[in-house]
Amino acid sequence: MTAPHPATAPALTRGRRWAGLAVLSASLLVVAMDMTVLNVALPDLAAHLRPTAAQQLWIIDVYSLVLAGLLVPMSALADRWGRRLVLLAGFTVFGGASLLVLLADTPAAVIAVRALLGAGGAMIMPTTLSMIRSLFPDPRERATALGVWAATSSLGMAIGPILGGLLLEHFTWHAAFLVNVPIMAAALAAGLLLLPEVRDPAPGRWDALATVQAVAGMVGLVWSVKHFAKHGPADPAAWIALAASLAVLTWFVLRCLHRPDPLLDVRLFARRPFTAGVLAALTSMLAMAALLLLVAQWLQLVLMLSPFMAGVHLTPMAAGAVLASPLAPWLADRIGARAALAGGLAVAGSGFALLYAAPPAVPVVLTALFLLGCGAGSLTIASAIIMSGSPAAKAGNAAAIEETAYDLGNVLGVAVLGSVAAVLYRTRLDTTGITGPSTADLDAARQSLGAALEVAGRTDAPALAARAGAAFTDSLTRTGLIGALVMLTAAAVVFALVPRDLDLRTQHH
């Protein structure tokens, strides 16, 4: 075989291209599942290892902190060392870290394992996307491949709780980690056989200072947003971290703008369609993460479903994404990329609006989830705009930006809409006339639905449990209105940014 051009893959047969996509999709599925599967496994893990409240938070948060911090540096390494090499290294780190959980018998050890999983995920996520840009030079084929990629990402987030609940019915919390091992081993073997090596032909010198800036800025930003979600807007540590992270990220952007060989080519944002695609990716993930969180709590704490059954009830979102994502390129060919992208965001917004407009009931919630999943089909168009509008040598940069948008969207969805729902719950919970719980107990009950149910059970106060459930349901519906406004605003901005005649079949080289 002739040596490949460094920025593009060699000409591959059709079968090998799609087999390569299967490898990339399987690995992405596992990484996406890991974002949500531990939420179900955490109670069992806490019962066995007895972590402190702070350690529990770190077990959940360290994955996304490390992932966010390393996305840009890892994609830059992939451009320099080879995307296949970094991807296969990611498979090894992710699978190895998952296996190490057998030796993790303390909360600190589990935190370390989660940090390694975040590092492996940062190697895998952007590289799968940039490899698709290399494997599929034909824009039509690439649009279809990106549809599969987007559906896989949405599917992974949605089935994480289902898989977690199913595993915990038969095994210990270790199974939530060990399930990754055989999939990563298979992906490593298949990747060695099927995936070509691709790298940037002129990556420039490695910028160590920009690497530190990217890691520190992104970790600080995600940490501050998470702290706002947990402690509210009055938390001074969160404000300090937010200000510091924004200052460091601004310094990072200015440094990249003034270098001929930047670690991240932020000039890509000069293209309005690229910016629109990133905005669409961020808001779509924000919507999915927020609704998965709130509806999962509603199903388990209001309807009292088991974790597994709650996960089953979340499948309409995955079904909508699986149906819509592969169809999105076909739709874009007929009505235009601008209408398809903005329309997908509007469909997701209609799912939120339905929660507000209709009486809260299982069929309404399931329909809202399905509409949100269908709206996630816009991720396919967003990815196509981002990747087609970027030169092949900058595919790693474009992928890093898109994956950063996904990670930030996930964090912001939980933090912003989750915090809004918590505030609405506290203002709607009326404890007047409830007897049994002390004043301190009632104050605790206002903090969360879970706390209210614990107090109600301990003090034999069924009226408190009923009112708390009603208050949470009301907060869910009102959050639907806010979510709808966010998504519809994003749809309008995206529609304004994307040219009417944008053709996804044209691309930069």
Region at 410 (left for phi over 0; alpha for psi -120 to 50; beta for the rest): alpha
Residues 364 and 245 in one domain: no
Residues 281 and 215 in one domain: no
The whole-number pLDDT of residue 215 equals 92
Residues 480 and 467 in one domain: yes
Q: Per-residue pLDDT for 198 more than 90? A: no
CATH of the domain at 142: 1.20.1250.20
Residue 272 lies in a domain: yes
Q: Per-residue pLDDT for 131 more than 50? A: yes
d(CA 191, CA 22): 10
> Rounded mean pLDDT of 177-200?
88
Task: For tokens 């050890």, name the residue.
Answer: 109
CB 488 within 8 A of CB 451: no
Q: Per-residue pLDDT for 277 more than 60? A: yes
**pLDDT tens for residues 66-97?**
888 898 899 888 888 888 999 999 999 999 99
> Rounded mean pLDDT of 373-386?
83
What confidence tier does 1 reach under pLDDT thresholds 50, 70, 90?
A: very low
Residues 143 and 276 in one domain: no
Domain boundary among 198, 223, 246: 198
Mean residue pLDDT of the chain comes to: 84
Residue 85 lies in a domain: yes
CB 441 within 8 A of CB 459: yes
Domain boundary among 221, 240, 262: 262
Residues 221 and 305 in one domain: no
Of 245-254, 277-286, 389-398, 413-422, minimum mean pLDDT range: 389-398
The whole-number pLDDT of residue 2 equals 40
The whole-number pLDDT of residue 4 equals 45
Residues 388 and 459 in one domain: yes
Query: What's the total number of domains in the chain?
Result: 3
Q: Per-residue pLDDT for 6 more than 70? A: no
Length of the chain (residues): 509
Of 254-268, 396-410, 466-480, minimum mean pLDDT range: 396-410
> Rounded mean pLDDT of 366-371?
92
Residue 157 lies in a domain: yes
More confident residue, 311 or 282: 282
Residue span of the structural domain in which 111 resides: 7-198
Residues 103 and 243 in one domain: no
Task: For tokens 């992405």, name the residue.
Answer: 28
Residues 228 and 275 in one domain: no
Q: Which of 45-59, 232-246, 411-425 is modeled with the greatest confidence?
A: 232-246
The whole-number pLDDT of residue 39 equals 67
**Does the global pTM surpass 0.85?**
no
What confidence tier does 247 reach under pLDDT thresholds 50, 70, 90?
A: very high
Residues 248 and 166 in one domain: no
Domain boundary among 143, 177, 198: 198
CA atoms within 13 A on the CB side of 267: 12
Q: Per-residue pLDDT for 357 more than 70? A: yes
Residue 405 lies in a domain: yes
* C-beta neighbour count of 271 within 10 angstroms: 16
**pLDDT tens for residues 476-496?**
998 889 889 999 999 999 999
Residues 31 and 137 in one domain: yes
Residue 374 lies in a domain: yes
The whole-number pLDDT of residue 308 equals 77
State percent of the chain over pLDDT 70: 95
Residues 133 and 256 in one domain: no
Residue 19 lies in a domain: yes
Residue 1 lies in a domain: no
Residues 241 and 357 in one domain: no
Q: Per-residue pLDDT for 143 more than 70? A: yes
Residue 460 lies in a domain: yes
